[in-house]
A = this chain, B = another copy of it.
Amino acid sequence: MPDANTMPAPPSFPAPLPLTQVMFADTFWAPRIALTRTQTLPFEYEQCKQTGRIDALRLDWRPGQEPQPHIFWESDVAKWLEAASYSLATTADPALEALVAEVIDLLAAAQQPDGYLNVYFTVVAPGNRWTDLRDAHELYCAGHLIEAGVAHFEATGKRSLLAVVQRYADHIDTTFGPGEGQLRGYCGHEEIELALMKLARVTGEQRYARLSQFFVEERGQQPFYFEAELHQRRRPGFFGTRIPQDPAALTPFRQYNQSHAPVREQHEVVGHAVRAMYLYSAMADVAMATGDQSMRAACERLWQHLTTRRLYITGGIGSSAHNEGFTSDYDLPNDRAYAETCAAIGLVFWAQRMAALSGDGCYVDVLELALYNGVLSGISLDGRSFFYANPLASNGDVHRKEWFGCACCPPNIARLLTSLGSYAYAQHDAEAIVNLYVAGSAQFDFGDTTIRLHQQTAYPWAGAVTLMLSGDLPATFTLSLRIPGWCRAPQLQLNGAPVALAGIVNEGYLRLTREWQAGDELLLEMPMPIERIYAHPAVAANRGRVALQRGPLVYCVEACDHDVPLEALLLPRNAQLTAHFEPDLLGGVVVLRGIAHAASWPDQLYQHDMPIAEPVAFTAIPYYAWDNRAPGAMQVWLSE
């Protein structure tokens, strides 16, 4: 039953197709998703097990024992559960299901009588619940548990975890809010906001959406909660945090977790990049849930700032390891790039919501860019090692690792890969939306009419996509095909006849409304020339440099493909490059080949004459695939 205090009916927005209605049968993503199930998820479970993350849920830790449960730990377990649940939604796997059930049992048993569920504040620091919202990640961990509960329910129909997290959410809803005796706080690491929106969706309980909205809108209000909390507690935060004495340090202190201003007054993307992405995702959720135009405007302003000032060409974000986040406009160093895998994943989350909120394909362009580059680089081809930071240049010392003390990225990439189907298609009233081109099929339900859309394509290696319709036809609906921003000259044929695109492409989608017939076949041709990309001249690191992109893939050069040091490589403006699919290289990739120049240089720092350039063979590989062969240097941006 709707709550008495229901918000006004919001406008409706496109919704992702449920994972269960999408099937990938391509050679790019489907094997990666299978690998996530067979390699990554068991491997990550083992890591969680060995490091104590899972057994900590038994609440039998005693002071002095090692390892001591850490405040982050539930979030890693929860993201693993979420990833495993998505996998179970599309592929049965009894062994995985058993592990999931075991962990859910542990979580259920760890839940306190009042619904509270956090190992650290139950066994390590009891009595300190909700006293260190800034540092202790308490609501953040709760958010990940809630997302896991929602995913598990949607994947399996089982309420075992959903019931647990709903009780926890109810406890939090009682504890936090604007009412008498409630805490007017919010988390130092955003996450619970978007989780509560998902919980509201699956339970139909609007109070979770209202709590999310409270957390989002309370953020940055004065007096600043985290400073009041520190004053009151009189002890530094979990990570030793104190309020900076230097007034100049207060702004970055507040910006770090985006609590420097009320969210509608935030104009620039600042602070910790993952935190920022999760907040902006929740802001977009709030804008959709409430129809609030000022919230939408804030989201669009922040998006504009990010994409015109602070975004790596790979879709990576966050220039500095110092704050794991944003620095200043156009400060996009390549070798020192932080570009955390989780931040690129967060950008995918935000972009998906912005696309739904606006109906504009430009947001999916960024989603796709991040997905194929700055996200996918985060995991090795064997699915068992991970980048935390994803630099755009390396001297050869940068390599993926199996695990991290703060292990946010490995399960985060797993949950994105196993849920990728839900990013490919969306539906809105009588509109079927294709956002990503992946061979396979999807099922759209328009009332009683069920339509199946089939894609045949070698995307991302080639830009031709054949789309076929089957199901309850004829039927009238709009088919919206995203025309990626990188595609300059799309062509369409319907049943073999060219279709003029003037007037039917807008906001990044080619929209065809007609009565569709059984056997209708569309051929969308998106030519994929090798594109040279230049950066805004204010990006100091990239002046005089060029990057290569083909379709959605950004390329890089690796030392192991070259006879000269990468630093000596010059790519002349008129260099002829050709694309070749190499089935046995790096799991099958299109490489770019041609002749570049190598500068020969005497052993001195400076000279009057330009270096002499000798022709050398040149090979570029997709950025996501780097560091999967012999360790060595890498560069995305090449001297011209």
Contacts and interface: CB of A to CB of B under 8 A. Distances in A.
A207 to B, nearest CB: 41
Given A534-B611, A537-B567, A610-B534, A605 B311 contact: yes
B606 A536 contact: yes
A608 B532 contact: yes
Interface centre among A534, A565, A601, A639 (most CB of B within 10 A): A534
Nearest to A547: B606
A105 B603 CA distance: 53
Given A313-B606, A639-B544, A537 B308 contact: no
A536 B605 contact: yes
B606 A535 contact: yes
A539 B639 contact: no
A490 to B, nearest CB: 16
A61 B610 CA distance: 61
A533 interface: yes
Contacts of A488: 608
A640 B604 CA distance: 21
Interface in A316-352: 330, 334-335
A609 interface: yes
A601 to B, nearest CB: 5
A601 B543 contact: no
A599 interface: yes
A538 interface: yes
A617 interface: no
A531 interface: yes
A543 B597 CA distance: 14
B545 A543 contact: yes
Contact of A543 (B534, B535, B544): B544
B545 A605 contact: no
Contact of A536 (B393, B543, B604): B604
Contact of A534 (B393, B535, B607): B607
Nearest to A538: B567
A251 B605 CA distance: 26
Contact residues on A (Cβ < 8 Å of other chain), bracket:
35 or more
Contacts of A535: 605-606
Nearest to A532: B608
Contact of A608 (B533, B543, B608): B533
A610 to B, nearest CB: 6
A184 interface: no
Contacts of A541: 540
A308 B605 contact: yes
A533 B611 CA distance: 11
A309 interface: yes
Nearest to A599: B537
A318 B330 CA distance: 25
A568 interface: yes
B639 A607 contact: no
A307 interface: yes
Contacts of A334: 540
Nearest to A607: B534
A640 to B, nearest CB: 7
B543 A309 contact: no
Nearest to A306: B605
A379 to B, nearest CB: 25
Given A540-B567, A544-B544, A608 B531 contact: yes
A536 B608 contact: no
A303 to B, nearest CB: 13
A531 B607 CA distance: 10
B534 A606 contact: yes
Given A534-B611, A610-B534, A611-B534, A605 B540 contact: no
B640 A533 contact: no
A604 B531 contact: no
A536 B335 CA distance: 18
A542 to B, nearest CB: 9
A146 B133 CA distance: 58
A545 B547 CA distance: 17
A259 to B, nearest CB: 26
Interface in A474-526: 488
A544 B637 CA distance: 12
Contact of A544 (B533, B545, B608): B545
8 contacts: A308-B605, A313-B605, A313-B606, A531-B608, A543-B544, A544-B544, A544-B640, A547-B606
Given A307-B604, A543-B567, 19 more contacts: A307-B605, A308-B604, A309-B605, A330-B567, A393-B540, A488-B608, A534-B606, A534-B607, A534-B608, A535-B605, A536-B601, A537-B601, A537-B611, A537-B639, A538-B567, A540-B541, A540-B567, A543-B544, A544-B640
Closest 10 CB pairs of A and B: A544-B544, A538-B567, A543-B639, A537-B567, A537-B599, A533-B606, A536-B605, A537-B568, A308-B603, A531-B608
